[in-house]
A = this chain, B = another copy of it.
Amino acid sequence: MAHSIAEIAAALGAKAFGATDLMVDKASEPAAAGPADLALAMTPAYAPALAAGQARCAVVWPDADWQSMGLEAAIFAPRARLAMSRLTQMLDQPLPAIGIAPTAQIDPSAQIGEGVHIGHFTVIGAGAVIGDGCWIGDQVTIHAGVLVGKATVLHPGVRLQRAVTLGDNVILQPNVVIGGDGFSFVSAAPSHVEAARETLGEGPTVIPDDPTWYRIHSLGGVTLADNVEIGASSTVDAGTIRATQIGEGTKIDNQVQVGHNVIIGAHCLLCAQSGVAGSTMIGDRVVIGGMAGVADNLKIGDDVVLGGASVVLSNVPAGRVMMGYPATKMKSHVDSYKALRRLPRLLRNLGKS
């Protein structure tokens, strides 16, 4: 959908200059921009590309000398990424108006709200409740009794298992699995693993009479609060006797694993391929970097930041920034790491003296 520069600037709460009646329907990188595109050049590094490209208008950095770069109009964006949020939302297309596909299998006892879209071959079980304005893609499975709030979006291949409750405005990317059974097994007698924690692995190996791993069933389901988004192929397991919970506004990237009984607070970010093991509690506004892991049964305070690929093996107080394996305060980690890099030469020198 085309918008004028003036309209876009108004939506961004930004100032516009020049020919603000120019119409654009697409944003582009400066070098690739055609004459009908809005170039995005939010830092001075883009200046040469902007001058070389064909854009007639651009979103530029504060104080950019836009006229000298051949532009006919410019929008000044004080916080570039925030502008990107509003701009990409304006230029996005709505989800396809698919209605309710005739091939969808919807149990007669399910309650479907107003204005809901349901794709081909999607299955909705008995007693499930789908709120007004939801958009459910093709080939989704929704177990009997699942509750879905309003305006929630489920992309193709999403699996909602038993006892799952989703809030309003939730977005689940393709192939997300919510409510799979927790990984919870127990041996008849205390196991080798249990012993290893106490002996640091120095005790004798005891081979059990009964090596069976007995299954603890997952009866508790999962609850996702409003405005949660979860990325492609991520998994959130069901709790044992109460729900695994993810708080309001928390955003989760692709291929993230959230174990059974975990409680995650509001407005957290969990980056790709990170994981939180069973029964751990994560506070509000926590940021977990890509590939970072948090062990089971821990408490992570509010506003904690875990660097990419760090591994947390003990509780973390509120506000702390952690890195490494095992994770320590970022400063300690950097000090140890720098010292380690100097160590080979130190050892060589000690060998000489």
**A residues at B contact (CB < 8 Å):** 26-29, 32, 40, 79, 81-82, 84-86, 88-89, 91-93, 96, 101, 103, 105, 119-121, 123, 125, 137-139, 141, 144, 155-157, 159, 161-162, 171, 173-175, 177, 180-181, 183-188, 191-193, 196, 200-202, 204-205, 207-208, 211-219, 229, 231-233, 235, 237, 240-242, 249, 251, 253-255, 257, 259, 266-267, 269, 271-273, 275, 277, 284-285, 287, 290-291, 293, 295, 302-303, 305, 308-309, 311, 313, 318-322, 324-326, 328-332, 334-344, 346-347, 350
User: In whole Å, how far is A206's beta carbon from the nearest beta carbon of chain B?
Assistant: 9
Q: Tell me whether A88 and B340 are in contact (CB under 8 A).
A: no
- Can you name 19 extra interface pairs (CB under 8 A) apart from A79-B188, A201-B331? A27-B241, A81-B186, A86-B214, A105-B138, A120-B123, A155-B159, A157-B159, A183-B254, A201-B305, A201-B322, A201-B330, A202-B330, A211-B249, A211-B284, A259-B272, A277-B290, A309-B325, A326-B337, A336-B343
Contact residues in B for A144 (Cβ distance below 8 Å) = 96
> Copy number of this protein in the oligomer?
3
B215 lies within 8 A of A89 (CB): yes
Query: How far is A290 from B40 in the complex, measured between Cα atoms in Å?
Result: 36
**Beta-carbon contact of A175 and B173 below 8 Å:** no
Complexed CA–CA distance, A273 and B255 (Å)? 9
Q: Is the CB of B287 within 8 A of A192?
A: yes
User: Given A82-B214, A257-B255, are A232 and B341 neighbors across the interface (CB < 8 Å)?
Assistant: no
A257→B273 contact, CB < 8 A: yes
26 contacts between A and B (CB under 8 A): A29-B242, A81-B186, A84-B240, A86-B214, A89-B215, A91-B217, A92-B217, A92-B219, A105-B121, A105-B138, A123-B138, A183-B251, A192-B287, A200-B330, A211-B285, A213-B249, A259-B272, A272-B277, A293-B308, A326-B337, A336-B343, A338-B344, A339-B344, A339-B347, A340-B340, A342-B347
